[in-house]
């Protein structure tokens, strides 16, 4: 169920809480929100509870919370205080990577462990990149709602054709190699992902903030860190994972043989889950 929390500054932070057990805070990726699903059933089955705020500009969360990543992380700590959660495991996904990095760096006493999944960890897209300019046009607030409405319409109308057309953008491998790896359940999870996606003001904030250098923050992380990244990620290069491993003292990188960016889908997913939960279970209170 959706919840709305008001920060000390009077700004709204949307969030969900699922399950009962040791708490995990999820920093969702770009175009997502507090209704993220990847990995959730698996976490709940292992008796973790999941707290997911919609990051600033996504869902109903105020854009102003994300004036900087530091102000956003202060809001997350306020939320944890409200929920009476002292220490937490953090999972940071894709464009949510910098949020997890800054949170672990600034509030070491509150973060028990950090898992980076397909995560941005240093400078990603900048105004010099053509993809940056394209993304700024396609996902600006006046356009994105129509774009995502069209995507939902097509994926619900002709799901198989749209899956084959769009899934390749997440991988460096040829289409003929990756398509056989997906089950009917994987395809349904992918369709549901697209049905919940919106950019709001959030993705433009992500573009602005992921263009920054986070070396100072990432180098001071004290908690144990697991980095999970596909060798064939077509959106966030593997170098982001290797960069994190070089700069975080207590980190371990597991380079996945899975097909691409969405490491929860496809034949390689069980390998990812095995590494993730072995690490997470070791860090339990």
What residues act catalytically?
94
Which CA distances in Å does 140 have to 123, 127, 145, 147?
21, 15, 9, 10
CA–CA dist 93, 28 (Å, integer): 5
Q: How many residues does the chain have?
A: 285
Is 134 exposed, middle or buried, given 0-12, 13-18 or 19+ CB atoms closer than 10 A? exposed
Is-contact 23 85, C-beta < 8 A?
yes
The first and second tokens of residue 42, run together, are: 């698996």
Give the chain's radius of gyration (CA, Å): 18
The first and second tokens of residue 281, run together, are: 């279970």
Is-contact 51 36, C-beta < 8 A?
no
CA–CA dist 199, 24 (Å, integer): 24
The first and second tokens of residue 117, run together, are: 């999944």
∠ CA 229-234-238, nearest 5°, is 35
Q: What is the DSSP string of 164-221?
A: HHHGGGGBSS-HHHHGGG--HHHHHHHHHHHHH---TTHHHHHHHHTTS--HHHHTT-
């Amino acid at each position: 169920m959706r919840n709305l929390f008001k920060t000390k500054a009077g700004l709204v932070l949307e969030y969900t809480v699922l399950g009962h057990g040791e708490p995990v805070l999820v920093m969702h990726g770009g175009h997502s929100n507090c209704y993220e699903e990847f990995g959730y059933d698996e976490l709940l089955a292992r008796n973790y509870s999941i707290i997911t705020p919609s990051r600033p500009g996504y869902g109903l969360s105020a854009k102003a919370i994300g004036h900087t990543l530091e102000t956003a992380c202060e809001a997350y700590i306020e939320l944890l205080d409200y929920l009476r959660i002292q220490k937490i495991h953090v999972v940071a996904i894709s464009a949510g990577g910098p949020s997890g990095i800054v949170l672990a760096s600034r509030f070491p006493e509150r973060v028990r462990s950090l898992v980076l999944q397909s995560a941005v960890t240093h400078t990603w897209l900048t105004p010099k990149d053509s993809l940056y300019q394209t993304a700024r046009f396609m996902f600006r607030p006046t356009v994105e709602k129509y774009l995502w409405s069209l995507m939902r319409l097509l994926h619900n109308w002709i799901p198989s054709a749209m899956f084959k057309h769009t899934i390749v953008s997440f991988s460096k491998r040829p289409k003929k190699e990756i398509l056989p790896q997906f089950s009917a359940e994987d395809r349904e999870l992918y369709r549901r992902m697209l049905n919940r996606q919106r950019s709001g003001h959030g993705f433009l904030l992500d573009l602005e903030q992921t263009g920054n250098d986070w070396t100072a923050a990432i180098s001071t992380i004290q908690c144990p860190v697991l980095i999970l990244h596909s060798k064939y990620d077509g959106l966030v290069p593997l170098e982001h994972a290797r960069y994190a491993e070089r700069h975080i003292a207590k980190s371990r990188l597991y380079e996945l043989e899975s097909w691409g960016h969405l490491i929860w889908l496809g034949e390689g997913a069980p390998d990812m889950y095995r590494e993730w939960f072995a690490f997470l279970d070791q860090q339990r209170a």
